[in-house]
Amino acid sequence: MRNSFFKLLLLFVILFVPTIGGSNASFLDFVTLSGITITTGCWVAPTVPVPVYPADPTYAGAASAWNLNPYFDWTDSTSSCPQHPDIAYEFQTSVDSAGNTVLYTSNWITVSQTPPFSLPDGVYYWRVRARDSFHNTSAWSAPALLVVDRAAPTSTFTSPVPNTDVTASPIHFAGNTHDDFGVVSVDLLYSQYAGSCNSSYTLITTLVNSSVSNDFSWSYDWTPGSSGSYCLKAEGQDQAGNKEASPVVANISYHQAADPAAALSLSGDQHTITFTVNNLANFKHLAYQLTYDTSSAPQGVTGDFDLNGDVNVSRDILLGTCSTGGTCVYSLGSKNFVLTVMLTDSGGATTSLSAHL
């Protein structure tokens, strides 16, 4: 009868397994029956840790916080068995987000942070998982991206070349910037040149590489505010915040175009008047109107033409009329000449000039 009672009691203890807080984790307190010890059991994995530092994604440059103090941190995992809260973590890095090509796997550690250790430049995906004292193991965390890039971009100029003279047209910048992990932008800068480059540079513009490609070909036309000799500089920046020690093109001499000017001259026989317009490098089209008085009535002439790169132009205007046979009748008493010139540049802007005689 006693043996039957103990058998029934043992069967009750084995069958009656209370649950914890509605979870699937279950346990038994220590129970010893006739030298038989029944210990706690736990079958649900701990919670999945979440990567915290460095954040996802991080591009770690030479001056970044991570490069100065390189470690990895994640949230604490929670055991499904409160009576046995001990948790260990396994940390892993790989070259792909799926973790197929593993670079490093840590031992199981009991703190939710790695000791400081550095990585060579490269692309890394890191993740972590947790394990309780019963060796129930969580899933891996979602991978976090870390790009270690301590090297600055490198730029090269293709235009202009050193010791170039530029007159009355913009200085043309062109070149390429390279970075192994993506170029974000290039700053174009200038300083004064007086035998050597002034160390103080002024920003001209920032060219943005919207595709963040490894190679960025760029160009820009710059018109200085005044004539002078300049040093030009290109300064690339990458995703990790590294800025290069920029290449410099020295002694670019810029000669600002003189303002356009118009003039009139009358021939000795007073049969022809000539108008001249100079300093037209920045313009593509010219329209003119000439008015004057004669002894009989006011007269006028209009015309226009494309400049086609001409810097100085002149036109002769006959003061009278000529027949097809070559017989000309000239105006008498021509005077009070007024020339009006309208110049148009490549952007469509106009400039008006006048001359009187």
> Do 300 and 290 form a contact (C-beta atoms < 8 A)?
yes
Asked if residue 345 belongs to a domain, the reply is: yes
For residues 110 and 181, membership in a common domain is answered with: no
**Cα dihedral 89/92/97/103 (nearest 10):** -170
Asked if residue 44 belongs to a domain, the reply is: no
Here the CATH number for the domain that contains residue 177 is 2.60.40.10
Count of domains forming the chain: 4
What residues contact residue 347 under an 8 Å CB cut-off, 6+ apart? none
For residues 250 and 158, membership in a common domain is answered with: yes
Output DSSP code: residue 169: S
Rounded Cα–Cα distance for residues 276 and 266 (Å): 12
> Do 66 and 54 form a contact (C-beta atoms < 8 A)?
yes
* HSE (side-chain half, CA atoms, 13 Å) at 298: 7
At 21 the pLDDT is 38
In tens digits, the chain (357 residues) has pLDDT values of: 444 444 433 433 333 334 333 344 444 344 444 555 554 557 899 999 999 999 999 999 999 999 999 999 999 999 988 777 889 999 999 999 999 999 999 999 999 999 998 899 999 999 999 999 889 999 999 999 999 999 999 999 999 999 988 876 789 999 999 999 999 999 999 999 999 998 899 999 999 999 999 999 999 999 898 889 999 999 999 999 999 988 888 889 888 777 899 999 999 999 999 999 998 988 999 999 999 999 989 999 999 999 998 889 999 999 988 888 778 889 899 999 999 999 998 889 999 999 999
Domain boundary among 255, 287, 307: 255
What residues contact residue 67 under an 8 Å CB cut-off, 6+ apart? 60, 61, 118, 148, 150
Asked if residue 45 belongs to a domain, the reply is: no
Asked if residue 46 belongs to a domain, the reply is: no
Domain boundary among 121, 148, 175: 148
**Residue span of the structural domain in which 315 resides:** 261-356
Alpha helix positions (H), the chain: 2-15, 65-68
Asked if residue 165 belongs to a domain, the reply is: yes
* DSSP H or E segment with residue 339: strand 335-345
For residues 174 and 160, membership in a common domain is answered with: yes
Buried b (16+ CB within 10 A) or exposed e, 90-112: bbbbbeeeebeeeeeeeeeeeeb
At 281 the pLDDT is 82
